[in-house]
């Protein structure tokens, strides 16, 4: 690259430096590589890293939650299937199928982002997220994308496995079911980022998982309709965002829901935006990440 070509580079903020050889004789000159305000290449690289982390161990990250959903279905089919013929006007086994799918997807979307940060802290390589030429927006979007990908892969795998057992057939509205699967995974992935930043070790991560995430998932209409809950607990349960994730996905799968799907989409979009802004701000401040 000639000197006049270096001078013609656009005047934008740069995030990296590189030694460029000149076409003319003489020593190489170090010049900034201007990559714009959004590092697309860096974002895609980090997204691939977050995705390949779980793809390399599919037996643990995909097959295991799929088997857990199948075991839940088998237990409920044997213990309750003959005693409770229907729920919300449909066969009970068909009713709980979407809840089991979303339960597996949401838990894994949360785990993908939270464990990535906690493991990096424990191993002492959290600097890998800080030293590359990546801003807080690129880091947040890449990690969230990895969590969404894992949630969708696990959810689709669990849905396929349960369909083979006869719990449900092809979704009545596949697009709507996918929308709730993606939005639910996005919310849990963002929550996982905040948890991973806050937790210093696996003890803190386990506390949030066991006392916050799992109760929200299990008590959100996974195995029943909230109309079965006594007042005012039924009204309180309606404020649980996980309920709207499962309720909307159930509507897209079997056409049964307690709330209109557009209401659930609005709730999840607003919650995604709020969590996204909070994650961006926390990453920008370097809370518990920068020394």
Segment 200-252, tens digit of pLDDT:
889 999 999 999 998 888 888 788 877 777 777 777 788 889 999 999 999 99
Please, which pLDDT band fits residue 13 given cuts at 50, 70 and 90? very low
User: CA triplet 74, 76, 82: central angle to 5 degrees?
Assistant: 105
CA nearest to 269, candidates 281, 280, 277 = 277
Distance CA 274, CA 250 (A): 25
Kindly state the DSSP code that residue 31 receives in the 8-state scheme: E
Segment 119-162, tens digit of pLDDT:
999 988 888 888 888 899 999 999 999 999 999 999 999 999 99
Which has the minimum average pLDDT: 30-44, 63-77, 116-130?
30-44
3-class state of residue 251 by DSSP: helix
Distance CA 181, CA 102 (A): 7
Q: Which has more pLDDT, 243 or 17? A: 243
What is the pLDDT, as a whole number, of residue 219? 80
Count CB atoms within 10 A of the CB of residue 93: 21
Q: Which has more pLDDT, 89 or 219? A: 219
Question: Would the pLDDT of 27 be above 60?
Answer: no
Distance CA 141, CA 44 (A): 10
Please, which pLDDT band fits residue 84 given cuts at 50, 70 and 90? low
What is the pLDDT, as a whole number, of residue 190? 97
Tell me what the mean pLDDT of segment 27-32 comes to. Answer: 54
What is the pLDDT, as a whole number, of residue 205? 93
What is the pLDDT, as a whole number, of residue 85? 58
Residue 220 contacts residue 246 (beta carbons within 8 Å): yes
Residue 276 contacts residue 190 (beta carbons within 8 Å): yes
Question: Which stretches does DSSP call E strand in the chain?
Answer: 16-20, 29-33, 86-87, 90-91
What is the pLDDT, as a whole number, of residue 25? 55
DSSP per position, 76-129: HHHHTTTT--EETTEEHHHHHHHHHHHHHHHHHHHHHHHHHHHHHHHHT-GGGG
Domain boundaries, the chain: 1-37, 38-285
Which has the minimum average pLDDT: 38-47, 61-70, 75-84, 176-185?
75-84
Predicted TM-score of the model (pTM) = 0.84
Q: What percent of the chain has pLDDT over 90?
A: 54
Question: Would the pLDDT of 88 be above 80?
Answer: no
Residue 264 contacts residue 252 (beta carbons within 8 Å): no
Question: Would the pLDDT of 4 be above 80?
Answer: no
Question: Would the pLDDT of 264 be above 90?
Answer: yes
Residue 87's region, left for phi above 0, alpha for psi from -120 to 50, else beta, is beta
Q: Which has more pLDDT, 94 or 185? A: 185
Question: Would the pLDDT of 117 be above 70?
Answer: yes
| Mean of all residue pLDDT scores within the chain | 84
Please, which pLDDT band fits residue 168 given cuts at 50, 70 and 90? low
């Amino acid at each position: 690259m000639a000197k006049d070509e270096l001078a013609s580079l656009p005047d934008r903020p740069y995030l990296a430096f590189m030694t460029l050889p000149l076409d003319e004789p003489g020593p190489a000159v170090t010049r900034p590589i201007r990559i714009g305000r959004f590092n697309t290449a860096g974002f895609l690289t980090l997204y691939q890293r977050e995705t390949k982390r779980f793809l390399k161990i599919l037996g643990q990250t995909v097959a295991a939650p799929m088997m857990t959903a199948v075991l839940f279905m088998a237990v409920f089919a044997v213990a309750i299937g003959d005693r409770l013929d229907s729920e919300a006007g449909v066969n009970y086994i068909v009713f709980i199928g979407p809840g089991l799918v979303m339960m597996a997807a949401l838990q894994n979307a949360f785990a993908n982002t939270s464990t990535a940060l906690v493991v990096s802290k424990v191993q002492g390589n959290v600097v890998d997220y800080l030293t590359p030429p990546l801003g807080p927006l690129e880091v947040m979007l890449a990690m969230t994308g990895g969590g969404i990908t894992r949630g969708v892969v696990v959810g689709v795998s669990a849905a396929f496995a349960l369909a083979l057992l006869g719990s449900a057939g092809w979704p009545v509205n596949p697009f709507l079911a996918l929308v709730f699967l993606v939005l639910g995974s996005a919310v849990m992935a963002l929550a996982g980022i905040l948890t991973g930043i806050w937790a210093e070790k696996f003890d803190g991560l386990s506390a949030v998982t066991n006392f916050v995430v799992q109760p929200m998932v299990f008590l959100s209409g996974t195995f029943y309709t909230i109309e079965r809950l006594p007042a005012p607990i039924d009204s309180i349960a309606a404020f649980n965002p996980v309920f709207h994730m499962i309720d909307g996905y159930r509507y897209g799968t079997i056409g049964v829901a307690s709330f209109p799907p557009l209401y659930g989409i609005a709730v999840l979009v607003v919650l995604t935006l709020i969590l996204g802004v909070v994650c961006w701000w926390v990453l920008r401040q370097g809370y518990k990440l920068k020394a």
